[in-house]
Amino acid sequence: MGNRMVFIKALSVFLGTVIGVGIFGLPFIAGKAGFSIVFLYFLVITPAAILINFLYAEVALGTEKNYRFPGYVGEYLGSSHKKLSFFIIIVGLIGALLAYLVIGGEFLSHLFGPYFGGNADIYTLLFFAFGVFLVFRGIKSVSQIELFLLFLLLAILAALFVKAAPFINFNYFTTYNFKNLALPYGVVLFSLWGSALIPEIEEMFIEKKLSVGEVRKGVRSVISKGLIITAAVYLLFIFVILGVSGPGTSKEAISGIYQVLGGNVIKLGFVFGIICCFTSFITLALTLKKVFIYDLGLLKGPSFFLACFLPLILFLMGLKNFIDIISFTGALCLGAEAIMTVFLYRAFLRKKLLKKINPALYFLVFIFSLGIIYELFYFFGGLG
């Protein structure tokens, strides 16, 4: 019973973090590229993301010292690679946190603005204040509310599906645009990425004094089940929003269904959005804080300040287009992290187990390298 409970809590933290702001960019992207194209992306990227997370988990479990990603890279690949990995992780996490601030503030503004007034920036600061409070409290306080919020999130999604089902137009799923073939890559990858949570999940199992084998089994189960559930939730959300909105799908997904489903359902959608963004923000901010503590050796105070306030500073500087933010973060930062994870795992096998990596894993390097090239070509060479 104890092991099952820790698994449920760990899974809820994982799902509550991975199911985040990326979900709101997916229907818009699917509308531009085509539902079938986005579906194929999920078929390829979901198992690839699971495998990358498995590799990272093996490194973390097989290393005695308590690190985050840059620390493991420094341990097995050297200081120069550690600096590069630190840059990748920091930029990736800050980009994710910035996206949560942007869209979380917008949802709060849409929900409460008609009653209390104020612009989106004010509500972003309110979102930020509540998130920072829970980051200050730590992972235990987060895990205690994640399970409740996860069930609430899934209940709201189910209600949206029931309300929207009679209005879904299946013709919206038959179109596609090969000119936008690369467009979904960064957003889909961003929406599925959960590697930053792996050390946090392992800590939750280790605290229960489980054996290494039990911890490994538990972590792998959280990763595989968590990402499969996440992909299913995303595809259902795309199906509902794109099926109702079609060409009118908005960038943040929710406001575009107003004309069809009405104000009350829209409010439910905004609550759904706030929960997604809030749970992810507090967990990833805590993870970034621990990167500064474990891998840079900073004190808790400065680490807390940097993790929480750097995204806010970028927001106040005017970086507020969340589609661009998550696409860049997903394609470049997370793609580079995935590639580095493969070589990290190879170095870990050589140093700890005196084994060679399975050459088939280099196919992951090819996939993510191709994704980075596609994304760069889309932005700078213009597929669209």
Residue-wise pLDDT tens digits, 92-127: 889 889 988 998 898 899 888 888 888 888 999 999
Chain-centre distance of CA 50, in angstroms?
Answer: 13
Q: Which domain holds residue 61?
A: 2-381
> Using CA of residue 224, residue 227, residue 231, residue 233, what is the dihedral sign?
positive
Single-letter residue type at 276:
C
Contacting residues for 131 by C-beta, under 8 A, at least 6 apart: 100, 278, 281, 282, 285, 308
In tens, the pLDDT along 266-325 reads 777 788 788 778 877 887 888 888 888 887 888 888 998 999 899 999 999 988 887 888
Q: Is 34 helix (H, G, I), strand (E, B) or coil?
A: strand
| Beta carbons within 8 Å of 74's beta carbon, 6+ residues apart | 67, 81, 82, 85, 295
**pLDDT at position 41, please?**
94
Instruction: Report pLDDT for 140.
Output: 52
Is residue 230 pLDDT above 90, yes or no?
Answer: yes
Predicted TM-score of the model (pTM): 0.85
Q: What pLDDT is recorded for position 342?
A: 96
CATH number for position 221: 1.20.1740.10
257/154: higher pLDDT = 154
Domains in the chain: how many in total? 1
